[in-house]
Amino acid sequence: MKLTQAIILSAAILAGHACLAQEVKEDFKPSILNQPGQEYPQVNSQGYVRFHIKAPTADSVRVSLGLGGRGGTLLTKGDDGFFTGTTEGPMDEGFHYYHLTIDGGVFNDPGTLNFYGSTRWESGVEIPAHDKEFYALKDVPHGNVQQILFPSKSTGSQRRAFVYTPPGYEKDKSKKYPVLYLQHGWGEDETAWSNQGHANLIMDNLIAEGKIKPFIIVMTYGMTNQLKWGHLKEFKIDTFQTVLTDELIPYVDSHFNTIADQSHRAMAGLSMGGMETHAITLNRPDVFSYYALLSGGIYTPEELQGKAKPKLIFISCGSKENPDKINQAADTLKQAGYNVVSYVSENTAHEFLTWRRSLYQLAPLLFR
Amino acid sequence: MKLTQAIILSAAILAGHACLAQEVKEDFKPSILNQPGQEYPQVNSQGYVRFHIKAPTADSVRVSLGLGGRGGTLLTKGDDGFFTGTTEGPMDEGFHYYHLTIDGGVFNDPGTLNFYGSTRWESGVEIPAHDKEFYALKDVPHGNVQQILFPSKSTGSQRRAFVYTPPGYEKDKSKKYPVLYLQHGWGEDETAWSNQGHANLIMDNLIAEGKIKPFIIVMTYGMTNQLKWGHLKEFKIDTFQTVLTDELIPYVDSHFNTIADQSHRAMAGLSMGGMETHAITLNRPDVFSYYALLSGGIYTPEELQGKAKPKLIFISCGSKENPDKINQAADTLKQAGYNVVSYVSENTAHEFLTWRRSLYQLAPLLFR
């Protein structure tokens, strides 16, 4: 180990200890993502999470959630047959996936709702964010989220997508809307942006406040090729691009009140969905006019050169990711004459609060 | 114990043994309700279910699914860290809820999708039914299932419902449709009829075959009062009746293309949803014209006397429930001059294949 590495590690350990020294406030409340009537997991006002798992004759229960690099949170067995424990420090605000390891097997916490991530339905917990109002369920007019099943000849299947239609969509049947195609990340699916992302509530609230012109959002499954984590570079976009541009878009345009042209179509994606957005918008600049990568990489002027110029490029990430890269890419693209907006979500990492906030920032910029 | 009881019990035990003597065919395949890429649980052509759960240092893994009264299926630990076991006999065709008990704690099988039942998200497994085609996902035009959020002043909440709109609903915007309000059972919620029941696929297939006139289905949460199993008699219908008749129906009629009158409105429910249907149709005969109880009790001529006459009463159950009660009630109602159809699902009990088949029988009789 080099000396500099040793110093950095020591600093990290000290930071950890400083964190442990914080007094944990005993104001824990059930997470809002618990199953009906379930008291645990609980979250306190500092962002600590407390778990409480019944397994009377188990030897070991570990929770995957915890501070980075510590292997999660090991629970302690009590006399009442419950394993209990609290994260060693506060978690970032927003949504977190996790699971339990019980005597060596992976299971979900029976207290929580499940969310599809890491190619499995995982437990989820929500740390109330200081800005949570923008994605809260409020007494405002609500749009609908509808499951559609569309035929896909290229894959020989009936495929599922979810379509957000804004409030009032049903009433004025002559009105037509632009469409945002919005992709999930690796290991997630077409349920992620509604369940974890609250995309529908973000839209309902923005529309109620008069901050955006209503548009439709379409969310479908992007991992059309099966692939394992660590093999992202082997991902070929062709299969999904065909489903999206040749099958889903024509289906949506023929079944919904859309403005069916390039200048009223946007594509955005988070993480691997950003990779997909990047590839498809560059392959098919005739299809979309607004491009957005949320923790999903950048564009360079070289890639874009000689193609139809997008009306907007939006790139974002959490402040705990690589914001310098995002900001530098935005500067470079601006200098090359592109309309670029970059956004950095404060105090968040590669996680859903970054992406909820990114959508909240992006939506008012679309279809102007 | 009386002699007759002893004889019946012996017969039951012998029947059980005869069942065990059946040779188990080794043609097991992954259940169609498994999570993506998961090999277990598996089902064979006879309806046996095999489980395979990783928990290397656990002492005991039991599955709640198994033959009645035997306490489910106790799995056996192998050298590979997996617990494995097969149900002692074949399960009924169709859908079954289950969960695992691992060292005394209740968890879900990480191999399967989750379904809301017994007031928790449970594991599910599907035994392919000989008549499964009527609820299969086929290459036919598909209707949509949309989540709506409607305001409820009586409960001070924004409530969720799912609305099935038939194929073609979007295209002909002047066409108006009748509506079926369809309720889940105790411990389930508004997701049950789509997820476990495949109500949308049953409708899509019936419409594609020209067997029914298209209609809308609305499914919302009926356990508006919190109540525990065994306390059904304490259930008061008032809270849910207000949500349904004063809030949801007006919302649906103002947001969807419905024929908003009594003669184009039906109510049906399974199990506790049948209890709700029974109570609400009798309290508000001005609202619905078609009444259906699926494993959810009966009507008597005395209850109906002096009220607006329903166009149809449909009562059903599985052959392993109490079909005599259903058939006798139907005879009594017919003699009293009511238009009654009764239906008994062969070789099924109080479970979802009974209710899928009941909806398949009911749909062609509605709105004629």
How much is the pLDDT for B200? 98
Distance of CA B133 to the CA centre of its chain: 17
Three-state DSSP state, B353:
helix
Q: Does B110 touch chain A (CB under 8 A)?
A: yes
Residue B155: phi and psi, rounded to 5, are -110, 0
C-beta neighbour count of B68 within 10 angstroms: 10
Three-state DSSP state, A27:
coil
How much is the pLDDT for A21? 55
Give the span between the Cα atoms of B318 and A197, in whole angstroms: 41
Give the span between the Cα atoms of A104 and B54, in whole angstroms: 7
- Partners of residue B34 on adjacent β-strands: B112
Q: What is the mean pLDDT of residues A176-189?
A: 97
Cis amide leading into B310 (omega within 30): no
ipTM, two decimals, is: 0.91
Q: Examine the pLDDT at A94 and tell me if it is beyond 70.
A: yes
Report which secondary-structure segment, H or E, holds B160: strand B157-165
Band of the pLDDT at A6, cuts 50, 70, 90? Answer: very low
Cβ <8 Å between B146 and A147 = yes
DSSP A271: T
Contact residues, chain B, for A139 at CB < 8 Å? 151, 158
Q: Comparing C-alpha atoms, which of B162, B212, B213, B181 is closest to residue B292?
A: B181
Report which secondary-structure segment, H or E, holds A6: helix A3-21
Q: Examine the pLDDT at B95 and tell me if it is beyond 50.
A: yes
Q: Examine the pLDDT at B59 and tell me if it is beyond 50.
A: yes
**B-interface mutation test, from A79, A144, A159, most B Cβ less than 10 A away:** A144
Contact residues, chain B, for A200 at CB < 8 Å? 147
What would the CATH number be for the domain defined by B134-365?
A: 3.40.50.1820
**B-interface mutation test, from A142, A157, A227, most B Cβ less than 10 A away:** A142
The single residue listed with the structure tokens 């035009």 is: B141
How much is the pLDDT for B18? 45
Cβ <8 Å between B103 and A53 = no
Report which secondary-structure segment, H or E, holds A353: helix A352-362
C-beta neighbour count of B251 within 10 angstroms: 18
How much is the pLDDT for A212? 97
Q: Comparing C-alpha atoms, which of A217, A219, A204, A214 is closest to residue A159?
A: A219
Q: What is the mean pLDDT of residues A221-246?
A: 82
Report the mean per-residue pLDDT for chain A. Answer: 92
Band of the pLDDT at B223, cuts 50, 70, 90? Answer: confident
Structure tokens that stand for A33 in this block: 């993502």
Band of the pLDDT at B172, cuts 50, 70, 90? Answer: confident
Q: Examine the pLDDT at A16 and tell me if it is beyond 60.
A: no
Contact status, residue A88 vs residue A70, Cβ threshold 8 Å: yes
The single residue listed with the structure tokens 């002492």 is: B59
Residue type (1 letter), B310: P
Three-state DSSP state, B270:
strand
Contact status, residue B287 vs residue B249, Cβ threshold 8 Å: yes
Distance of CA A345 to the CA centre of its chain: 13
Residue B272: phi and psi, rounded to 5, are -60, -30
Q: Examine the pLDDT at A2 and tell me if it is beyond 50.
A: no
Q: Comparing C-alpha atoms, which of A133, A252, A256 is closest to residue A201?
A: A133
How much is the pLDDT for B2? 41
CATH 3.40.50.1820 location in chain A: 134-365
C-beta neighbour count of A8 within 10 angstroms: 11
What's the CA dihedral at A20, A23, A29, A35 to 10 degrees? Answer: 10
The single residue listed with the structure tokens 């990489």 is: A297
Q: Give percent of chain A above pLDDT 70.
A: 91
Distance of CA B365 to the CA centre of its chain: 19
Band of the pLDDT at A235, cuts 50, 70, 90? Answer: confident
Give the span between the Cα atoms of B265 and B216, in whole angstroms: 10
Among all residues of chain B, which has the CA nearest to that of A148? B144
Cβ <8 Å between B150 and A142 = yes
Beta-carbon contacts of B268 under 8 Å, excluding residues fewer than 6 positions away, are: B180, B181, B182, B183, B274, B277, B290, B291, B292, B293, B294, B314, B359, B362
Cα radius of gyration rounded to whole Å, chain A: 22
Band of the pLDDT at A71, cuts 50, 70, 90? Answer: confident
Report which secondary-structure segment, H or E, holds B291: strand B290-294
Among all residues of chain B, which has the CA nearest to that of A118? B36
Contact status, residue A348 vs residue A318, Cβ threshold 8 Å: yes
What are the tens digits of pLDDT across the range A152-163? 999 999 999 999
Structure tokens that stand for A117 in this block: 């991530």
Give the span between the Cα atoms of A314 and A343, in whole angstroms: 8
Contact residues, chain B, for A255 at CB < 8 Å? 170-171
Spell out a b/e string for B284-298, using b for 16 or more CB atoms within 10 Å of the CB, else e.
bbebbbbbbbbbbbb
Give the span between the Cα atoms of A203 and A208, in whole angstroms: 8
C-beta neighbour count of A246 within 10 angstroms: 14
Band of the pLDDT at A67, cuts 50, 70, 90? Answer: confident
Three-state DSSP state, A247:
helix
Contact residues, chain B, for A121 at CB < 8 Å? 35, 113-114
What are the tens digits of pLDDT across the range A304-340? 999 999 999 999 999 999 999 999 999 999 999 999 9
Report which secondary-structure segment, H or E, holds B127: strand B120-127
Q: Examine the pLDDT at A20 and tell me if it is beyond 60.
A: no
Task: Select the more confidently predicted residue: B333 or A70.
Answer: B333
Architecture of domain B25-128: Sandwich (2.60)
DSSP A261: S
Cα radius of gyration rounded to whole Å, chain B: 22
Give the span between the Cα atoms of A347 and B355, in whole angstroms: 50
Residue B319 Ramachandran class (φ > 0 left, ψ -120 to 50 alpha, else beta): alpha
DSSP A171: T
C-beta neighbour count of A19 within 10 angstroms: 12
Distance from CA of A340 to the nearest CA of B (A): 34
Contact residues, chain B, for A257 at CB < 8 Å? 170
Report which secondary-structure segment, H or E, holds A195: helix A192-195
Q: Are strands A179-183 and A216-220 parallel, antiparallel or unpaired?
A: parallel
Contact status, residue B121 vs residue A113, Cβ threshold 8 Å: yes
Cβ <8 Å between B107 and A108 = yes
Is CATH 2.60.40.10 the right assignment for the domain spanning A23-128? Answer: yes
Beta-carbon contacts of B180 under 8 Å, excluding residues fewer than 6 positions away, are: B215, B216, B217, B218, B265, B266, B267, B268, B290, B366
CATH 2.60.40.10 location in chain B: 25-128
Q: Are strands A157-165 and A144-152 parallel, antiparallel or unpaired?
A: antiparallel
Q: Does B250 touch chain A (CB under 8 A)?
A: no
Contact status, residue A113 vs residue A33, Cβ threshold 8 Å: yes
Give the span between the Cα atoms of B343 and B327, in whole angstroms: 8
Contact status, residue B126 vs residue B195, Cβ threshold 8 Å: no
Instruction: Supply angle C-alpha A272, A275, A276, rounded to 5.
Output: 95
Cβ <8 Å between B146 and A142 = no
For the ranges A1-15, A65-79, A113-127, the lowest mean pLDDT is seen at A1-15
CATH 2.60.40.10 location in chain A: 23-128
Q: Give percent of chain A above pLDDT 90.
A: 87
- Identify which of A58, A114, A144 has the shortest CB distance to residue B103: A58
How much is the pLDDT for B230? 67
Residue B42: phi and psi, rounded to 5, are -120, 155
Distance from CA of A16 to the nearest CA of B (A): 31
Residue A288 Ramachandran class (φ > 0 left, ψ -120 to 50 alpha, else beta): beta
DSSP A40: -
Q: Examine the pLDDT at A255 and tell me if it is beyond 80.
A: yes
Contact status, residue A289 vs residue A310, Cβ threshold 8 Å: yes
Report the mean per-residue pLDDT for chain B. Answer: 92
Beta-carbon contacts of A23 under 8 Å, excluding residues fewer than 6 positions away, are: none
**A-interface mutation test, from B38, B142, B164, most A Cβ less than 10 A away:** B142
Contact status, residue B124 vs residue B131, Cβ threshold 8 Å: no
Q: Examine the pLDDT at A228 and tell me if it is beyond 90.
A: no
Q: Examine the pLDDT at B134 and tell me if it is beyond 50.
A: yes
Q: Does A81 touch chain B (CB under 8 A)?
A: yes
Highest averaged pLDDT of the listed ranges A10-14, A232-236, B351-355: B351-355
